[in-house]
Structure 1
Amino acid sequence: MPPALGRRAVLATLPLAAVPAWAQDAFPSRPITVVNAYGAGGQTDIATRLTADRLATAIGQRVLVENRVGGATSIASTAVAHARPDGYMLLAGTSSLAINPTLQPRLTPRDPMTELAPVGAVYRGAFVFHIYPGLPARTLPEFIAYAKANPGKLNYGGVVGTVVHLATEMLCQRAGIEMTAVPNRGGVEGLLDLQAGRIHCNFQSPVEAMPSLEDGKTIALAISSRERLPNLPNVPTVAETLPGFEAVLWMALFAPAGTPEPVIDKIAAALGTVTEDPAYKARMAQLGLTAETGGPADVRALLAADTVNWRRVITEAHIQTN
């Protein structure tokens, strides 16, 4: 008998007064809120709302999305970490949970591994490494060779402390090249800077990069995941040149630490139904994302490994925030 079922069997024999409140009412008996740290209308927000809608059907209760933007995502994650651990407030947690403890240790939660409880995986998203067409490079090895011949003369863009920024730093470290960071607000601003030659290269989401690539305004050299993208099958991965390289943005659901395991298990099972659905996978693919299925242990392992990886990149690059 699985451990969770065993606990339920024991609880069923206890007097009603001894049974926790979460067990007295069938969970969920009211709407669930998923807190999203990103602004409305962006890729992450769209994916979160899509997931919430499907999760509502799978779990049999309304699932609302609440945007709490700011503090390098810490406002959202702190709100969930301090919420009542009953399963009714969840966090759409991303790779920032693995980055912030090293890059911005004053932000809360300082230790997501203990202050939050992993529930289940949602998606991962790769980035396209594309360049200004005026550069004399059409492959990643050619770009690396040019950068080595011109140390410090190439610029790259990105929001400080994001996966895009750290992915470029990791590329520099692995390739043995020097480039200058030109911080921007990401998204459209970074794309316009690249098209105008104000920066020379950038990691960008496929959805943002595709129109520019199709118009020839930028040139794709590599993909940041270990697998090629279905919609860009002829673009090699960075790992094909630099073995072991991987930089992806991931999302998973988290609950406050102390949330009962049966509640987490129920949400995780419903989420797994969502992420395994072919229609959901197809819609996520349209957003340039890959639906991922994994339970609490999988998410915990991912967070732990990513924290170690980004800590190494941040430390070696001596990256600091104000």
Structure 2
Amino acid sequence: MPHAIGRRTVLATLPLAALPARAEDAFPSRPITIVNAYGAGGQTDIATRLTADRLTAAIGQRVLVENRVGGATSIASTYVAQARPDGYTLLAGTSSLAINPTLQPRLTPRDPQTELAPIGMVYRGAFVFHIYPGIPATTLAEFIAYAKANPGKLNYGGVVGTVVHLATEMLCQRAGIEMTAVPNRGGAEGLLDLQAGRIHCNFQSPVEALPSLQEGKTRALAISSRQRLANLPDVPTVAETLSGFEAVLWMALFAPAATPAPIINRVTNALRTVTDNSEYQDRMARIGLSAETGGANHVRTLLAEDTANWRKVITEAGIQTN
């Protein structure tokens, strides 16, 4: 009799395609948003939008960029950490995720290593250490010797708590020199201060530093990455003078912590297609960045190592924020 057919029997006879799919099986079925903690038009924003554009083609859905600026990048990272873990809200996470837990522990997420799920690497960006031409030094070793002979008399610039600021503190610690920090509001202001001699040295992105170097308004002494830069091949790395030194700004994609593994893997593979592309790599190089391929484990290791490294620098320097 018809009414005797049980619900379980009816379901069992349905074709597999008629059964509801899991969300991760259908991902992505609508646009994805990458949340960027930095202002529109800056180097990080340009790189994020370039990546989103290429990711759109690689993943088969439109990838948008949303800027959520403020709170030392915590507004953006908190927003993503608390978002629905469905893969549609991602974070363009940077080195600040390794710095904030020590420097500004009240900010959220307090532990990015557990509150966010890494997806894959996007880039690393080195800095140029350049000086005011009035300083009598043409090499990093000569600069260190001059600083030791004039303890506390040299100033350096940078936004408090950024990689630029902490890189200079690490340089002071490794070289055994004393310099005074003169906080500023960013790269453009720091460059003007350096050219005018109000500060004596600065780590700066290559894009910001190159015009000044070409005009002879500042002098490059070293590169903060472990490899020399293609567009400044004659400038040695800091590590060539101070072994093991490295201070770079990196960016990777993250998702909320509970995002299912199949979704993470889907975005990771699409991102790998983007970062492995030679045209994308060339475009990134033009804005002073080095595209880097690496999956979730690579990002997880980098975040843990960078967190420990910057914790040591911050603690030894006694750096505090208001």
Normalised to the residue count of structure 1, the TM-score between the two structures is 0.94
Look up the match of 2:297. Answer: 297
SS of 1:271 mapped into structure 2:
helix
- In structure 2, the residue matched to 1:45 is 45
Correspondence 1:125 to 2:158: no
The answer for the alignment partner of 1:6 in structure 2 is none
Name the residue aligned to 1:101: 101
SS, match of residue 144 in structure 2: helix
Q: Secondary structure at the match of 2:293?
A: coil
Q: Which residue of 1 aligns with 2:221?
A: 221
Q: For residue 267 of structure 1, what is the amino acid of its counterpart? A: V
1:15-164 superposed matches below 5 A: 16=19, 20-23=22-25, 26-164=26-164
* Counterpart code for 1:70: G
Alignment match, 2:12: none
Q: Which runs of 5+ in 1 are unaligned?
A: 1-11
CA distance in 2 between counterparts of 1:284 and 1:220 reads 22
CA distance in 2, matches of 1:22, 1:183: 46
Aligned residue in 1 for 2:250: 250
Tell me by how many angstroms 1:98 deviates: 0.2
Amino acid corresponding to residue 98 of structure 1 in structure 2: A
Aligned with 1:45: secondary structure? helix
* Partner Cα distance (1:98, 1:21) in 2: 31
* Superimposed CA distance per residue, residues 274-297 of structure 1 (whole angstroms, 9 cap, x where no aligned partner): 000000000000011000000000
Distance 1:238 1:296 in 2: 29
Q: Give, in whole Å, the separation in 1 of the partners of 2:130 and 2:200.
A: 9
Q: Is 2:169 the counterpart of 1:188?
A: no
User: In structure 2, what is the Cα distance between the partners aligned to 1:108 and 1:118?
Assistant: 17
For residues 19 and 320 of structure 2, the distance between their equivalents in structure 1, rounded to whole angstroms, comes to: 54
**Letter of the structure 2 residue corresponding to residue 240 of structure 1:** E
Deviations 1:150-184 (A, max 9, x none): 00000000000000000000000000000000000
Which residue number in structure 2 is paired with residue 230 of structure 1?
230
Offset of residue 21 of structure 1: 3.4
**What's the % identity of the aligned pairs?**
82
Over 6 Å off, 4+ runs:
none
- Cα distance in 1 for residues equivalent to 2:251 and 2:24: 26
SS class of match (1:33): strand
Residues matched between the structures, number: 308
CA distance in 2, matches of 1:79, 1:243: 39
Cα distance, 1:16 vs structure 2: 4.2
Please tell me whether the aligned partners of residues 24 and 262 of structure 2 are also in contact (alpha carbons under 8 angstroms): no
Asked which structure has the greater CA Rg, the reply is: 2
In the alignment, the residues of structure 2 paired with residue 161 and residue 22 of structure 1 have an alpha-carbon distance, to the nearest angstrom, of: 38
Structure 2 unaligned segments of length 5 or more: list them: 1-14
Deviations along 1:173-219, one digit per CA (max 9) or x if unpaired, are 00000000000011110000000000000000000000000000000
Letter of the structure 2 residue corresponding to residue 39 of structure 1: G
Aligned to 1:8: none
TM-superposed deviation, 1:22: 3.4
